[in-house]
Amino acid sequence: MASSEGERPRRALSTYKAVFIAIGAAIVGLGLLWLAGSVDAIKGNPGLQSVFNNLGSALITGMALVVLWELVSKRSFAREVIEVTRSAADIERSGITHAGTEYLRDADWDGLFSRVQKLDIFFAYGHTWRGSNLTNLRALARKKGCRIRVYLPDVEDSDTVRQLATRIKGTPEKMIDLIVEARSHFESLYEPGGAEISVFYRPGELLFSAYRFDSTAVITLFAHRKERGGVPTIVCQEPGTLYSFIKLDLDAVNRQSRQVFPQPVVVGNADS
């Protein structure tokens, strides 16, 4: 704060100095124009008169621009630079690499699938997304050493199903069918010797959809309107703050979920 307060008198002094110089130059310019129109020796020489007129006009116009820049434009320009710099720093800190409203096109899904080792998916049922990325999903499912974890709404939790049914303008029965169909789809991708595939059910409201491809995450938000249309889509990377938020949120989702595929092995006691 002390440094900022110390800068103010120096900025004011610099401004006053520039204004006084501009006023002095403008007075000289007016003098040159007066000489060009009043002194016979100059008036009688068209070439010399033109030089005086042009020089005087240039001084007046140039100094007027200097004053305008010093008093108004320079401050506006400085504020603009500061805002742009601050915005760029905020974006870099968040880790955002892309944002849009067309989730099937805004993310480079082919590129993300081509290099992913661990994929986490958290959505309602993703019918359109699954169809669009079916070839990628099948290819990843065949890769040994890779992992796919899918989190779906819990069809046995009536509140969860009812909330989702209300959001998509469907019935709870229809919602359950869509979720079960998504579960079956991922189960069918499993191949012995291929990727590890796990499916989970999570009770509770779904606030956004998320796809985490190792150190890159894609989130899509929901719209309050009922009509179909674009939805906000954000791509971000580690170690950005937004990526960290998604990672922590998915960790919480994992703790809140129960595994439904493959069925967890229950170890009984010695008498069972």
CA 67 → CA 10, 56, 175, distances in Å? 17, 17, 68
Which helix H or strand E contains 202, and what residues bound it? strand 196-202
> What pLDDT is recorded for position 270?
41
Please answer whether residues 119 and 212 qualify as being in contact, where contact means their C-beta atoms are separated by less than 8 angstroms. Answer: yes
Query: Pairing mode, if any, of strands 147-153 and 118-122?
Result: parallel
Q: What are phi and psi for residue 150, nearest 5 degrees?
A: -120, 130
* CA-wise closest residue to 149 among 174, 107, 108, 118: 118
> What pLDDT is recorded for position 166?
87
**Residue 164 or residue 79, greater confidence:** 164
**What is the tens place of the pLDDT at every residue in 202-216?**
999 999 999 999 999
> What pLDDT is recorded for position 43?
64
In the chain the first and final C-alpha atoms are separated, in Å, by 74
Strands laid side by side in the 196-202 sheet: 96-100, 233-237, 216-220, 209-213, 118-122, 147-153, 196-202, 258-261
- Contacts of 100 by beta carbon, 8 Å cutoff, 6+ apart: 106, 230, 232, 233
> What pLDDT is recorded for position 122?
97
**Residue 119 or residue 272, greater confidence:** 119
Q: What is the DSSP string of 123-179?
A: -S--HHHHHHTHHHHHHHHT-TT-EEEEEEE-TT-HHHHHHHHHHTT--HHHHHHHH
**What is the tens place of the pLDDT at every residue in 111-144?**
999 999 999 999 999 999 999 999 999 999 999 9
**What is the tens place of the pLDDT at every residue in 81-101?**
556 556 667 778 888 999 999
